[in-house]
């Protein structure tokens, strides 16, 4: 499972969001709308993705 990667794209603005949701974006390495990053599929990253799923688009790589 640790070998898998996820492609994560930010689809909505972080302005006006809860501080903890903004920190999840920062933890995933996202700062701009339509920015795409690849993260390793770990329980920690999955937790952050699940918390802010409403503002992300996620695909397996």
Check residue 5 and report its DSSP letter.
Answer: E
CATH code: domain 5-60 is 3.30.1390.20
- Length of the chain as a residue count: 61
Has this prediction a pTM greater than 0.85? Answer: yes
Residues 43 and 32: their CA atoms lie apart, in Å, by 24
Residues 61 and 59: their CA atoms lie apart, in Å, by 6
Domain ranges (residues) in the chain: 5-60
2-60 pLDDT tens trace: 589 999 999 999 999 999 999 999 999 999 999 999 999 999 999 999 999 999 999 99
pLDDT of residue 3: 80
Total H helices, total E strands in the chain: 2, 3
């Amino acid at each position: 499972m640790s070998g898998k990667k996820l492609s994560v794209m930010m689809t909505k603005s972080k302005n006006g969001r809860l501080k903890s949701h903004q920190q999840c974006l920062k933890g995933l390495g996202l700062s701009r709308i339509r920015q795409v990053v690849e993260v390793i599929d770990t329980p920690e990253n999955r937790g952050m993705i699940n918390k802010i799923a409403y503002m992300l688009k996620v695909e397996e790589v």
